[in-house]
Chains A and B, each alone.
Chain A
């Protein structure tokens, strides 16, 4: 399991635009660099990130080899109801990681 840091505001008012910040530990190996033995290291990157708000997709990003290691993604969404945010990172070699957080709307 990769390490992640997720910041969701503790509480929001209905209709408020909130900022979500996510950071995940990942080497994002480009597939273009030679290793210590001179061979090209195989590509190992995160290719897709999605955020679901109570099952409904609210943000999605495709990532490519130019993205830096430990990708930091931040985005905004309109808080309408108390619900669960599900973050999923998918990548090469079957990499899948899912984290959840609760957004409380008052």
Chain B
């Protein structure tokens, strides 16, 4: 017993090499965490009268058609009807932004649009306005499969996202892949470990008692890993989002989803 303990402690000082399963989840085996939820919460998401995310969608619909200033166009002024103009948009984001020559996610695009075309201040991350507008745009893609844009300029974001996903970080020495590639379907305490597909963001999380973005979820996970979370809007998050969307295709979009 003592000998075993001694042997055990001898190797404790060294950081073990990354033992990440190299294979990603094959497309046919990708599952939304919707499937692992209790029937009650599934019903809450499906029911158009019980899904609290729809309250934010009402805000988003108003913002879509409201001009930020009398001499500036509303979103609808350039894009028209969201139901047609925004259909399928969220399913292909993050995408490439020509103006900054960098990848940009949906929240970033909305704020960039506000600054460039509406002459307005960008919304704060996790503000009711930004979440509402993002959810409203993303909800126009509900039911459509997530697609992976073939833009070669997104290649570096994809590989950076993959590297972040598999890199051990934080005091617990975990990586995203350690749970979501290697141990999905098993339990962490009482919680089912999902495959980690961002199909329904911004989503209503019962734990949050409100709507939250994918970045809030990622920051949550990083805190749980005892890693220092990236700031909202950090390029690391955009790269991770790009990789996660590639990894989730072709699952259908579910915005606004409900999660425990």
Q: Pick the contact of A70: B49, B55, B59 (CB < 8 A).
A: B55
Task: Annotate A37-76 by CB proximity to B: 1 below 8 A, 0 otherwise.
Answer: 0000000000000000000000000000000111010100
Would B49 and A25 count as touching, CB distance under 8 A? no
The yes or no answer to B18 lying at the interface (CB within 8 A) is no
Would A5 and B49 count as touching, CB distance under 8 A? yes
Would B209 and A70 count as touching, CB distance under 8 A? yes
Q: How far is the CA of A74 from the CA of B44 in the complex (A)?
A: 13
A5 CB contacts on chain B under 8 angstroms: 49, 54-55
B163 CB contacts on chain A under 8 angstroms: none
Chain A positions 2-61 with a Cβ under 8 Å from a chain B Cβ: 3-7, 21, 23, 25, 27-28
Q: Pick the contact of A68: B48, B49, B54, B206 (CB < 8 A).
A: B206
Known interface pairs A23-B55, A70-B55. Does A7 touch B49 (Cβ–Cβ under 8 Å)?
Answer: yes
The yes or no answer to B192 lying at the interface (CB within 8 A) is no
Chain B positions 77-102 with a Cβ under 8 Å from a chain A Cβ: none
Q: How far is the CA of A74 from the CA of B43 in the complex (A)?
A: 14
Q: How far is the CA of A4 from the CA of B54 in the complex (A)?
A: 9
The yes or no answer to B50 lying at the interface (CB within 8 A) is yes
Q: Pick the contact of A3: B47, B48, B50, B58 (CB < 8 A).
A: B58
Q: Pick the contact of B49: A3, A23, A28, A69 (CB < 8 A).
A: A23
B52 CB contacts on chain A under 8 angstroms: 23, 25, 69-70, 72
Would B59 and A23 count as touching, CB distance under 8 A? no
Q: How far is the CA of A59 from the CA of B119 in the complex (A)?
A: 48
B210 CB contacts on chain A under 8 angstroms: 69-70
B54 CB contacts on chain A under 8 angstroms: 5, 23
Q: How far is the CA of A74 from the CA of B210 in the complex (A)?
A: 20
Chain B positions 44-71 with a Cβ under 8 Å from a chain A Cβ: 47-50, 52, 54-55, 58-59
Q: How far is the CA of A7 from the CA of B47 in the complex (A)?
A: 11
B59 CB contacts on chain A under 8 angstroms: 3
- A21 CB to closest chain B CB (Å) equals 4
Chain B positions 200-234 with a Cβ under 8 Å from a chain A Cβ: 206, 209-210
- A89 CB to closest chain B CB (Å) equals 13
Q: How far is the CA of A4 from the CA of B52 in the complex (A)?
A: 10
- B216 CB to closest chain A CB (Å) equals 16
**27 examples of A-B residue contacts, CB within 8 angstroms:** A3-B55, A3-B58, A3-B59, A4-B55, A5-B49, A5-B54, A5-B55, A6-B49, A7-B48, A7-B49, A21-B47, A21-B50, A23-B49, A23-B50, A23-B52, A23-B54, A23-B55, A25-B55, A27-B209, A28-B209, A68-B206, A69-B52, A69-B209, A69-B210, A70-B55, A70-B209, A72-B52
- Name A's B-contacting residues (CB within 8 A): 3-7, 21, 23, 25, 27-28, 68-70, 72, 74
- Name B's A-contacting residues (CB within 8 A): 47-50, 52, 54-55, 58-59, 206, 209-210
Closest 4 CB pairs of A and B: A69-B209, A7-B49, A25-B55, A21-B49
